[in-house]
Amino acid sequence: MKNWQEIKAAINNALSNYNHTVHYVPPTKGRCSYFEIEITEEDFDMDDILNDLNNVMDQYQLSADIQGSDKTLDLSAHWDLKKR
């Protein structure tokens, strides 16, 4: 993914009201790239987080996957697969 830094900046901007971390995970064979977002606050609503990220997800064609802890969210770029 050539523009991962641009997408990461857009995610950080969308979540500027929350304490969070964002990590880019590049694609591997058979797995698309994704952004792992960890919310480091105790009191938040995941629906609010998703709402704040809606424009970023639409603009960059990312899909959300909430992880088991409910504090970690992955935004997957299914269009960015490593071919070999």
Q: For the segment 66-75, what is each residue's pLDDT rounded down to a tens digit?
A: 876 667 888 9
What residue ranges do the domains of the chain occupy? Answer: 4-81
Residue 28 φ/ψ, nearest 5 degrees = -125, 175
The pLDDT of residue 41 is 87
Confidence bin at 30 (pLDDT 50/70/90): confident
Q: Which stretch of DSSP H or E encloses residue 21?
A: strand 20-25
Residue 84 has pLDDT above 60, yes or no: no
Q: Where are the alpha helices (DSSP H) in 1-84?
A: 4-14, 46-60
The predicted model scores a pTM of 0.88
